[in-house]
Amino acid sequence: MGTALVAIPGDDQLMTISIGIDLTSADAVAQSLQDHGARYLERVYTDRERRDCTQPSGGSDAERLAARFAAKEATLKALRREDESIPWTSIGVCSDRAGRPSLELSGPAAALARRRGVAELSVSLTHEGPFAAAVVVAHLQEAR
Amino acid sequence: MSVTSEGTTRMEIRRVIRDHARLPVEIDSISDNADLFQAGMTSHASVNVMLALEDAFDIEFPDKMLKRSVFESVDGIAAALQELEIEAA
């Protein structure tokens, strides 16, 4: 987690960004699904995330869920969360038809982003075997 | 909360942490005010601790309690449970 001033080539403007990163174990997610089932899914993931991570067999895809959990935690780091109460479901990952992910904030997470002066959030996800990771970049409204 | 019931509550909190926090150290080696995140609990594991506490104490943590300080120590969890008990009374 940190903030940086970024110079854009060919542009006189400086842009302040804040970065968050997280690594989540897909095995841990699979264990949570086994231990807490639907209650785990409902408390942590948005309706859309649960739908996007449902396998054809009807079960949940732990690797894809792990990537989404990593995105939530990376977002909180990029937003420089202190001790604000932020339900996990107020941060959601959406994917367009090409599979490009984006973040959708609501409620307390959206309010925190406004307080931090976030103009835009970018997210990148990856998962391979037992691990999933996410990086989130918050573009802040003005250089500080 | 009486001294005895508070002692029982803390023992149950420690059992939940032992079973769900995936700590790399023994729970008995951690004091009540030690930071569980510093001790190795991940944010994902803290979700499991929260859900297991709800099962163990038949409660539901409201959104306002979903913050780091509530789940960062045995003391923090015990204080939150006491607050929920007072609100329910």
Q: What ipTM does this complex have? A: 0.88
Confidence of residue B76 (pLDDT cuts 50, 70, 90): very high
More confident position, A108 or B1: A108
- The Cα of B63 is separated from the nearest Cα of chain A by a number of Å equal to 6
Q: Do A29 and B48 touch (CB under 8 A)?
A: no
B49's enclosing H/E stretch is: helix B43-57
Q: Could you report the per-residue pLDDT of A1-57, keeping only the tens digit for each?
A: 456 766 666 666 778 999 999 999 999 999 999 999 999 999 999 999 999 999 989
Residue ranges per domain, chain A? 2-140
Q: What is the pTM of this model?
A: 0.90
Q: How far is CA A112 from CA A105, A117, B63, in A?
A: 10, 9, 15
Q: Is the dihedral of CA B46, A100, A140, A14 positive or negative?
A: positive
Cα A45–chain centre separation? 11
Q: Is the dihedral of CA B67, B68, B70, B71 positive or negative?
A: positive
Percent of chain A with pLDDT over 90: 78
- Mean of the per-residue pLDDT values of chain B: 92
Cβ-Cβ contacts under 8 Å, A31 against chain B? 48
A119 phi and psi angles, rounded to 5 deg: -90, -35
Of B45, B47, B68, the CB nearest to A44: B47
Measured from the Cβ of residue A50, the count of other Cβ atoms closer than 10 Å reads: 17
Asked if A81 contacts A97 with a C-beta cutoff of 8 angstroms, the reply is: no
Cβ-Cβ contacts under 8 Å, A35 against chain B? 20, 48, 51-52
More confident position, B5 or B11: B11
Q: Which of B22, B47, B70, B83 to mutate to test the interface with A (most CBs of A within 10 A)?
A: B47
The pLDDT assigned to B80 comes to 96
Q: Does A63 touch chain B (CB under 8 A)?
A: no
A60's enclosing H/E stretch is: none
Q: Is the dihedral of CA B18, B24, B28, B31 positive or negative?
A: negative
Q: Could you report the per-residue pLDDT of A52-97, keeping only the tens digit for each?
A: 999 989 899 999 999 999 999 999 999 999 999 999 999 999 988 8
Q: How far is CA B54 from CA A74, B50, B59, in A?
A: 26, 6, 5
Q: Could you report the per-residue pLDDT of B33-59, keeping only the tens digit for each?
A: 999 999 999 999 999 999 999 999 999
- Rounded to an integer, the average pLDDT of A102-108 is 97
Cα A80–chain centre separation? 13
CATH class of B3-88: mainly alpha
- The Cα of A12 is separated from the nearest Cα of chain B by a number of Å equal to 39
Q: Does A25 touch chain B (CB under 8 A)?
A: yes
Q: Does A32 touch chain B (CB under 8 A)?
A: yes
Residue ranges per domain, chain B? 3-88
The pLDDT assigned to A7 comes to 66
pLDDT higher than 80, residue B11 = yes
Domain A2-140 = CATH 3.90.470.20: yes
Q: Which of A24, A27, A36, A75 to mutate to test the interface with B (most CBs of B within 10 A)?
A: A36
Q: Do B43 and A40 touch (CB under 8 A)?
A: no
Percent of chain A with pLDDT over 70: 90
The pLDDT assigned to B85 comes to 84
Q: Do B48 and A36 touch (CB under 8 A)?
A: yes
